[in-house]
Structure 1
Amino acid sequence: KFNEISLWEGSDEELRAGKTKFRQSLLELPKKFPSGNYFKVVEISSQGGVFKATLIVDHLGEKKEAHAEWVCEWIRSSDEKLKLLDLERKNYLELRSDKKVLYNDYTYKVLGGTPHYDTQINKGISEWAGLISKFGDMAMTGHHGIAIGDVNGDGRDDVFLCDGGSLPNRLYVQNDDGTATDVSVGSGIDWYEDSRAALLLDLDNDGDQDLVVATIAMIVFAENNGNGQFAIKGGFPGAQYPFSLSSSDFDLDGDLDVYVCIYGEGDMNSGSRGFDERSPVPFHDAKNGGKNVLLVNRGGFSFTDETESVGLGTNNDRWSFSASWEDYDNDGDPDLYVANDFGRNCMYRNEGGRFTEDAKGLGLEDTGAGMSVSWGDYDRDGTFDLYVGNMFSAAGNRVGAQAKFASGRGPDEILEMRKMYRGNTLYRGTEGGFSDVTRDARVSMGRWAWSSGFVDINNDGWEDIVIANGYITGWNKEDDL
């Protein structure tokens, strides 16, 4: 829990410090914030010989951190050197805590004793690329999820880990002391197919956690015998490039149903999938992605594709990354939000087991690079709010701010294109819909956000936001302007 939070808004003449004082302040930053000081240029422009740059600044320390925007003005002097004319600090936020960290990394303590920790779990894609027979079976960007549940009924959570093609999936059962035992082989789930996502949930209502896995071959359903051993009961081969799974009893018949997000259409005969098969066109509003699938639970591990019959076929042509269920309108049945890459997201309102797509009407289209979605009530007003994880790109912001950006395109289309790199979006729920409060809440910059979630990480009763982010950084240092 943070003991002190300081905010600074507006202009302050004392911050327009002299050159000597400013230089000294910069030199002292590593002492005040020893964990790192990061400056990210997000906008740059020039007019009349004056250059203006906007930076996102992060100062990190063990017990305090600070975040702000800097707006700097420069001029080229007679000796061709840049001279700082002015610096304005905006949206300053400083946090102090009596604790050094909220969480510690316990990966090795929990999994370090398992036999494959060093040979599989602790290796990255760069090592596997030169060892596996077909690189196409392993997602270079690491789209491999996990599922958490109690597989053996001992009251402790266990972990199922999806992995890339040519590497077996893993099931780790938690021990009394908090460590884990690898039971993958004995449980019957150490499949070598490229697996993207999994769910541990009770599909047959017998009280134990069954398993659903989205593999490159098919959606696999496996029954738990109650002791953590699984038997394959069937599969659905019609999902050619699955990226994520979500589940809900949308028709309220007592059985859990499964929704599958399909990223890009695939060709099972050629082996091409995703970008190998086609590119998203147009890049900011692509409608040539895969077709998501709703698998309705008929009992006895029998599932049927009812996507079209229940109304989920509307706008079902996007590059879908993830989906989340929630009864946002409090009418008793779960509704569905789908986060799509390369364009608009979808919001399906459930009306007695049939769906109506109304993202635009509710103000929830969010034309960014959608990768994740989470429901919560961050302001505790009793209405559901929505946080969508997208892509934040400093380079994209710099390029998109230029007057010549997307010349020849209409203003609405340019706004949509600029949204692609703006970052994450927070929607506040109201009685009549949703409003975008991202800027006021200062939650857009989640970097390259693959996953995000509302969670009260410090147990103070207020939901915080946790974001998993990152991407591959190349060595090209050429200017982007």
Structure 2
Amino acid sequence: MKNGILLFLMAFLPIALSAQFPYALKGTTATFGAPDTVSGYPFPQGFPQWGTGVSCIDFNNDGLEDLTFATGTNQELYFYTNNGDGTFTKIAPLVSNTHHTKMVLWADYDNDGDKDLFVTAFQRPNTLYRNDGGGVFTDVTAMAGIPVRNDWTWGATWGDYNNDGLLDLYVCNRHNAVNSNYLYRNNGNGTFTDVTRKAGVSDGTQLTFQANFVDINNDGWLDLYLANDRLYGNTLFRNNGDGTFTDISTSSAAGITIDAMNTAAGDFNNDGFFDLYVTNTPNGGNVLLRNNGDETFSDISASAGVQGFNFFWAGNFFDIENDGDEDLYVSCMKDFTGSQNKVYVNQFVETGMEVFTEPYVNGLPGDTAQSYANAIFDFNDDGKLDIIVPNNGSDTIHLWENIVSNSNNWVKFTVEGTVSNRDGYGTRVEIWAGGKHYVRGHYCGDAYLNQNSEKIHFGIGTASMVDSVAIHWLSGITDVLTDLSPNQTYNVVENSTNPIPVNVNVVHADCHGSDGEATATPGGGVGPYTYEWTSGDMTATATSLAEGNYLVTVTDSNGDRGIGFASINNIGVITCDIAVTMSTNGVGGAADLTVTGGKAPFTYSWSNSATTEDISGLAPGAYEVVVVDDNLCEGRGIVGVYDNVAPCMPIIPTETVVTAYTATLKWDVPPTADASRARYREVGSPTWLISPAARDTDSELTIEGLTPDTEYEYQTKTRCDGPVISGFSASYFFRTAQLSGLPCDSWIPHTIASDHDSAVIEWTDNQDADRYRIRYRIIGDPIWKEQVALWAMVTLGNLTPSSMYEFQSATLCGATWTEWSVTTWNFTTTMAPPAMAQAGGPAETDREDRSALEQLEESAEASFKLFPNPARESITIEFAGSDNNAVTVRNANGQVIRLINSTLGSYSLDLSELPTGMYFVTVVDANGMPSTQRFIKN
């Protein structure tokens, strides 16, 4: 038992609760705006809620932690400002977004000192809002280079994976056929580049709920951990420090295969390495992965007592009673068992044992809402961590105030990067107090759909002083503070505690190699000085530097030190930005060139023989420029000049991206274009081939089936408003890439996992492959089924339980599929769950299971119709009246999987995500009368 008494006040309008328990809940209601429900109806196609997210970030920079909630379809996001007196005020939406949003993440991606907002959405576009100050936000998604498309996005996380001082974005898509996850690298100019495949973190097409950038091996580089649902094992990517990652899921034992939802990180045993907590369904329970400090993890969830065995979602580490070890709060989906959210209290400080206890065996009293996400913050700044829970359905927001009554002390830190990203995400903070050592990390989106407080909190027990603090920034800089008083918040700016200022002058590398230099000059202290560069140089000047970031530690004769930072750019990379003025009646066009990078002076060579920086008096057409700098480094640019009067012009390509078998043509869209296409051929061939068509708003098209390392000629054509069609353009040229050297053979599986009705098969991606194919059948069946995959993974669904399957593989390279593999592989599906064993009704299970199902028996006189029944893709619910009907859909175990409100005469229920089996639909009409029917998903 912990020392002291743990008290929580639940601020949950309009109810105030008071009760006594081993760790008591009591107090009066704190005002929290209106009793909002953050996940409204209807949900798209009857899709289950599975929660919406919450953020505890101070979005108006007044020092108080505010609240932002994602919401359901046709609802604006909720924004609450903290009044500083224990209450919140709901304000008008800062942005307009009525999609079915999932996660809200505040982050200063442009390092300008105010928080920008990224919002994920289910089957709707994700949105990036730039904070322009004064409460003004601009949707910059498209101009930032983030695709505007209807993905199946759940979670996301910000982190600086390449340590360049800019926050990068990882987006999780829970879809097993179309979308992978995506890593967007921050370019530092307001735009992002998709580096997913280059970095090696697409994770195929797995059902990813959430990800977390966390340094699992304390090497100063953020690794990436993913929670993947169903048969897809979780993935741990180790950061290689060169812009790429290595999948160590198997070797680390972190690649557990459960119904994973959560990726929270914390150091529960105070050993200096971050552990992971992954939530699960009742099938196996939650998993606590202890970090062994050698890039491996051990599952200690059973011995630690944190499994839970229910439908758990968000789980957060936090120190409830400020005793120095991190406890857990876990959100649970409400079902017929009366499930409640869990509080697990860590006993490590008291006993030295890696065990947790449950002061509330059935959860916090009254904490019985439909909960998915939760977040941790200190809303009244009293040093005791509180909990915010956005609930679903008719359940209102829960705010739990921590009113623990003990004498334990605490300390908090806010961090501001100057060389590292301004928010300081990825920073690792260590403190020593009362003879004990504690470590905390700073994350931006780690648990399921949440963003915790920006303030890095430590409980320090009865220690009366914080002896020392080390703040390790991603830049490599460390700030050290000593002899801090407890029960205060300290604001730390990067490199502010090192007493000797260091000025660094740099000579950037050019396009010819590693010839950059950096010279450190101390601005204080007493000489002589010693110098230690991260490049290995030990003198004031570091030489032969390639593009990258470098630190120098300068130590004077008294032992005082200073840290300097050098960023070496490859200025030989010349970028040509061209602004265009369209011509009028074939004359008067212009191209204004802006050159960045390189070393002046520059020379210019345009395709029309001009040698000036800018050109004018142009007719319609394509204009290319070659720029050469003083180091003889070269840059190129091309631009299309269209006419604003001419009836129709062919598209003018400005970029061609090639692989061994494909070419993607990119252009600026003509003002009157309805559709575009190209004809192409190998140079010297008499025969033209026709490309696919591009729509009016498309700015690119891809030609497939090309021959590697071959020169091609192509011409473009455009159909404009009405029936007007341009002629073909003059010829352009490209050369396809050489093969990587990997043979284009049928793929070989390295992972096969199956349950009763589905299987997941993975193999190694071939960079030269365009796509993959599998054919499969029950052994002995004469008919093969086929499926095509874009990634090195495939999910097979609607399989027959207790059956042995065989499959073969093929690979598409260019225009030709390989033959089906000679080898045939096998897998066996498991038995169906007991409740699905009989299609006509529930199996005869034990009495306890049977009594749960008896609650769902069909009504003698149902007030609605279900058809078709059985059904595969969707089923129609036809109501007796069009008044408000409340619909609940449960599986054969009695668990709620859909909640629907409908005022229409009928409703189409999407079944595509449901496993085969028996389900029950209960409709409560406007008079409060319930009736129930069952249906079969086949």
Shorter-chain TM-score range: 0.5 to 0.7
Q: How many residues align?
A: 323
Q: Distance in 1 between matches of 2:4 and 2:87?
A: 36
Q: 1:29 maps to which residue?
A: none
Answer yes or no: is 1:220 the counterpart of 2:131.
Answer: no
Q: Secondary structure at the match of 2:213?
A: strand
Q: In structure 1, how many angstroms separate the alpha carbons of the residues matched to 2:190 and 2:50?
A: 29
Retained in 2: the 8 A contact 1:151–1:224?
Answer: no
The equivalent of 1:190 in structure 2 is 96
Q: 2:113 — aligned with what?
A: 207
When residues 102 and 459 of structure 1 are mapped into structure 2, their CA distance, relative to the original with a 3 A threshold, is farther
> 1:101: which partner in 2?
25
Q: Distance in 2 between matches of 1:148 and 1:375?
A: 17
1:318-397 to 2 correspondences below 5 Å: 318-343=206-231, 344-352=233-241, 353-392=243-282
Q: 2:183 aligns with which of 283, 291, 294?
A: 294
Change (3 A) 1:143 1:122: closer
Q: Secondary structure at the match of 1:372?
A: coil
- 1:295 shift after superposition: 1.4
How many angstroms apart in 1 are the aligned matches of 2:150 and 2:281?
26
The answer to whether 1:453 aligns with 2:453 is no
Query: Quick check: 1:148 aligned with 2:72?
Result: no
State, as a whole percentage, how many aligned pairs show the same letter.
30
- 1:168 aligns with 76
Contact 2:39 2:49 in 1 (8 A): no
Query: What's the offset of the Cα at 1:226?
Result: 3.2
Q: Secondary structure at the match of 2:251?
A: helix
Does the C-alpha gap of structure 1 residues 226 and 150 become closer, same or farther in structure 2, counting only changes over 3 Å? Answer: farther
Query: 380-389 vs 339-348, which deviates more?
Result: 380-389
> Which string of whole-angstrom CA distances, capped at 9 and with x for unpartnered residues, describes residues 254-292 of structure 1?
110111110125xxxxxxxxxxxxxxxxxxxxxx57411
Q: Which amino acid aligns with 2:169?
A: V
1:477 aligns with 854
Deviations 1:272-325 (CA, angstroms, capped at 9, x unpaired): xxxxxxxxxxxxxxxx57411111112343122111011113x42210111111
Structure 2 CA distance, aligned partners of 1:442 and 1:304? 43
Contact map agreement 1:373 1:453 (CA 8 A) in 2: no
What CA deviation, in whole Å up to 9, does each residue of 1:38-77 have, x standing for no partner?
A: xxxxxxxxxxxxxxxxxxxxxxx9554xxxxxxxxxxxxx
CA contact (8 A) 2:38 2:70 kept: no
Q: Does the 8 Å CA contact 2:154/2:173 hold for their aligned counterparts? A: yes
| Cα offsets for 1:376-424 (capped at 9, x unmatched) | 11111122211111112xxxxxxxxxxxxxxxxxxxxxxxxxxxx0110
Does structure 1 residue 311 correspond to structure 2 residue 206? no
Are 2:17 and 1:110 equivalent residues in the alignment? no
- Using the TM superposition, give the Cα deviation of residue 457 of structure 1 relative to its aligned residue in structure 2, in angstroms: 1.3
CA distance in 2 between partners of 1:234 and 1:289 (Å): 21
Larger radius of gyration: 2
SS of equivalent residue, structure 1 residue 149: coil
Residues 174-199 of structure 1 show CA distances to partners (whole Å, capped at 9, x for unaligned) of: 223232233334x2x13112211111
C-alpha distance 369-227 of structure 1, shift in aligned 2 (>3 A): same
Alignment of 1:244 with 2:171, yes or no, is no
Secondary structure of the residue aligned to 2:196 is: coil
- Specify whether residues 180 and 316 from structure 1 end up closer, same or farther in structure 2 by C-alpha distance, changes over 3 A only: same
| Unpaired runs of at least 5, structure 1 | 6-60, 65-95, 130-134, 266-287, 393-420
Deviations 1:213-249 (A, max 9, x none): 1124322111113333312122422561100111100
More strand by share: 2
Instruction: Report the counterpart of residue 169 of structure 2 in structure 1.
Output: 258
* Equivalent residues of 1:239, 1:262 under 8 A apart: no
Q: CA deviation at 1:443?
A: 0.8
Matched to 2:332, the amino acid is: N
Contact 2:278–2:286 under 8 Å retained in 1: yes
Please identify which structure carries the higher helix content.
Answer: 1
How many Å separate the matches in 1 of 2:27 and 2:190? 39
SS of the aligned residue for 1:360 comes to helix
Tell me the equivalent position of 2:637: none
Equivalent pair of 2:141/2:148 in contact (CA under 8 Å): no
Structure 1: distance between partners of 2:26 and 2:325: 16
CA contact (8 A) 1:151 1:227 kept: no
Letter of the structure 1 residue corresponding to residue 317 of structure 2: F
Structure 2 vs 1, CA of residues 234 and 361 (structure 1 numbering), >3 Å: closer, same or farther? same
* Match 2:137 to one of 227, 230, 236: 230
Task: Give the TM-score taking structure 2 as reference length.
Answer: 0.33
Q: Distance in 2 between matches of 1:123 and 1:204?
A: 29
Q: Secondary structure at the match of 2:264?
A: strand
Q: Give the drift of 1:3.
A: 3.6
Preserved contact between residue 152 and residue 226 of structure 1 (Cα < 8 Å):
no
Can you list the C-alpha shifts for 1:304-353, whole angstroms capped at 9, x where unaligned? 2111011113x422101111111111111100100011021000000112
Distance 1:472 1:202 in 2: 39
Please list the CA deviations of residues 70-119 of structure 1 after superposition, one character each: whole Å capped at 9, or x if unmatched.
Answer: xxxxxxxxxxxxxxxxxxxxxxxxxx44xx2288874xx1122xxxx5xx
Distance (whole Å) between structure 1 residues aligned to residue 82 and residue 204 of structure 2: 39
Q: Is the 8 A contact 2:39 2:52 kept in 1?
A: no
| Structure 1 vs Structure 2 CA RMSD | 2.6
Q: Distance between the aligned counterparts of 1:425 and 1:148, measured in 2?
A: 26
| Aligned-partner SS, 2:321 | coil
Taking structure 1 as the reference length, the TM-score comes to 0.62
SS in 2 for 1:199: strand
- Provide the rounded CA distance (Å) in 2 between the counterparts of 1:239 and 1:124: 19
Q: Deviations over 1:143-167 (max 9, x none)?
A: 3112221222111111121111111
Does structure 1 conserve the Cα–Cα contact (< 8 Å) formed by 2:185 and 2:195?
A: yes
CA distance in 2, matches of 1:477, 1:467: 30
Contact 1:259 1:292 in 2 (8 A): yes
Structure 1 CA distance, aligned partners of 2:222 and 2:27?
33
List alignment gaps of at least 5 residues for structure 2.
Answer: 6-17, 338-851, 856-891, 894-938
